[in-house]
Amino acid sequence: MALDVDTKYLAPAAAESSKLKRHFGRFDILFFLICTIVGVDTIASVASAGGQAFTFMVILAIVFFVPQALLFAELGTAFPQEGGPYLWTRMAFGHLAGAVNNFLYWVTNPVWLGGTLAGAAAYALEVFFNHGKTFSTPVFYAVTIPFVWVAVLAAILSFRVGKWITTVGAFARFLLLGVFVITVVVYAIQHGVHGLGASSFMPQYSGFVLLVGVLLFNYVGFELPNSAGEEMKNSTKDVPFAIARSAIFSFVLYAVPILGILLVIPVDKVTNLGGFVDAIQTTFSVFGPAAPVVGGAAGILFVLCVLTSGVTWIMGSDRSLAVSGYDGAAPRFLGVINARLGTPVRVNIFSGIVSTIVLVLATTITGGNAYKFFGAVLGVTISTTLISYLLIFPSLWKLRRSHPNVARPFTMPWHRPLTILLMVLLAFTVIQLMAPGAFYQWFGSDFRPDGWKASEGGLYLLTELVPVVAFIVIGVLFWVSGTKTRRENAALASELDAAGAGVVGGGVGGGASGTAGPVSGSSAG
């Protein structure tokens, strides 16, 4: 009896998947998600909008954060194969859509690592270890380039070791943000706080436009552990557990420090780049003569937090790119899992190279202006990330129709209206990221990123649009480069059908029972 090609694992997938090790347990996934979602580099970007930032945090937690968590709880348990977000998109919309979307999803992370994360780490070190003085260019590179490659090395390590790095990163967040909140209370008792009137919490359209991009960026990432789906011990039970608990932890870890910043620093003095670090420096004055030592420890924790944010995203997105390589949506050279480590070393190194190039280019283009550097790279990072979700989200809807018989241990309620709501929010946000203040006050003073002048609106648009267009073109070229792999996979599938051969590996949605690669496509297209 011939087998349905769409439920078959082909030889490349089986060969690469056999190198994966199941080291990813329930609490590993939980701590991984906390590192993924809670990014201390963007806390100040939210706080800079004042009291309404907290209001919109709550609103978007209800209308975006929770629906997204429900969506990925279904996809993550129904289709738990390696390469999750790539696999879902490719199964739903084909190899071309999968290739382009997955490149956008992947490239965000080396850009983010070499851009905003490296810049935020350097700023913290300047404040706490260089008396607030800006590093010279050679020193800046001496700090940031090793930062990038330490993250890459952590991603290269076996998940048996690498998962402990993300666990340390999660506890670094608990410690840093917990101590910060306690210190804010002590500071408020000693020095008082500048008032936040009730009116500052009133939501305004201009505030929504300003905040929606960074808030949605803070709230995405529930799907990332499924990039390592076949390295999970029990995805069916562990994914919903980790998503539910990480959602609660993440909201609290964002909301409380943001309120703390608003209480101790006037809104007009909170900057995207340094607001959280500046708030730490201000409040830690309560430690008196020990303030420099305690502040230095906080600076190290801050660097560890931003480093592990990069590590988790590199770990996940690099796996998705590797899967696309042996599935025919990227160069086959990239689709290789290291047999000894069980990690996509080639893609990891590729990420490090891209991060380093972004770091050098962004520093050169912005003339070393840290604020302009941070704003421009953060805008590209957020827009590219959110564009990729424009196909990942609706894949749930499509896969319900195309794969109705797949077991779904968890089912998203009201999936049609909630998916539409997610898509509308994403589309609006992408427009605002490309053209801040569009439909309201394009590149007006309230929406213009730090370091940019009113006359530079056209240049800013180019810095956002050109990279995205370039990334889409590269995604198409990746698809073209995978043509031979797709044809070989399709030919092998035909041979298996003709021979009535057994399936190599597990079935769709095999979960903890032992899946062995991505669901294969039925054509070379």
Per-residue model confidence as pLDDT tens digits over 505-524: 333 333 333 333 444 443 34
Please tell me the chain's helix, strand, coil percentages from 3-state DSSP, rounded to the nearest 5. 75, 0, 25
* pLDDT per residue as tens digits for the range 129-142: 988 888 898 999 99
Residue 268: per-residue pLDDT? 66
- Phi and psi (nearest 5°) for 354? -65, -45
How many residues comprise the chain? Answer: 525
Mean pLDDT over the full length of the chain? 84
Which residues partner with 24 through β-bridges?
A: 232
Q: Give tens-digit pLDDT for 322-381.
A: 999 999 999 999 999 998 999 999 999 999 999 999 888 877 766 655 555 555 666 677
pLDDT for the residue 8: 42
Per-residue CA distances from 331 to 136, 477, 523 (Å): 39, 9, 17
For the ranges 258-272, 366-380, 392-406, 438-452, the lowest mean pLDDT is seen at 366-380
Provide mean pLDDT across the span 417-441.
Answer: 90
Confidence of residue 271 (pLDDT cuts 50, 70, 90): low
For helices 84-93 and 291-326, what crossing angle results, to 10°? 40
CA-wise closest residue to 432 among 418, 452, 453, 446: 446
| Cα 164 to Cα 244: distance, rounded to the nearest angstrom | 21
In the predicted model, what is the mean pLDDT of residues 490-497?
76
Contact (CB, 8 A) for 464 and 433: yes
pLDDT of the residue at 220: 93
pLDDT of residue 219: 93
463 versus 509: which is more confidently predicted?
Answer: 463
- 6 close to 522: Cβ distance less than 8 angstroms: yes
Side chain identity, residue 310: G
Quick one: pLDDT at residue 509? 36
Distance in angstroms (rounded) separating the CA atoms of residues 212 and 218: 10
Q: Cβ-count burial of 452 within 10 angstroms (0-12 exposed, 13-18 middle, 19+ buried)?
A: buried
Tokens 């800079």 locate to: 48
Distance of alpha carbon 144 from alpha carbon 152, whole angstroms: 13
Phi, psi of 482 (to 5 degrees): -90, 5
Q: Which of 78, 70, 76, 63 is nearest to 412 (CA)?
A: 70
Question: Exposed/middle/buried for 466, CB within 10 Å: 0-12, 13-18, 19+?
Answer: exposed
Mind listing the pLDDT tens digit for each residue in 237-252?
Answer: 899 999 999 999 999 9
List alpha helices for 18-135, DSSP H. Answer: 26-37, 43-47, 52-60, 66-78, 84-93, 95-112, 118-129
- The helix (H) or strand (E) run that includes residue 154 is helix 137-156
- Residue whose C-alpha is closest to residue 441's, from 424, 453, 454, 425: 454
Q: What is the mean pLDDT of residues 218-229?
A: 92
Contacts 24+ apart (CB under 8 A), 334-340: 335/12, 335/16, 335/485, 336/16, 337/16, 337/17, 337/19, 337/20, 338/19, 339/19
> C-alpha distances in angstroms, 255 versus 51, 185, 211, 259?
11, 15, 14, 6
Which of the listed CATH numbers 3.30.1490.480, 3.30.70.100, 3.40.640.10, 1.20.1740.10 matches domain 5-513? 1.20.1740.10
pTM of the model: 0.87
**What is the secondary structure of 441-474 as a DSSP string?**
-TT-TTTSPTT--GGGHHHHHHHHHHHHHHHHHH
Q: How far apart are CA 136 and CA 124, in angstroms?
A: 15
What is the longest distance spanned by two Cα atoms in the chain? 80
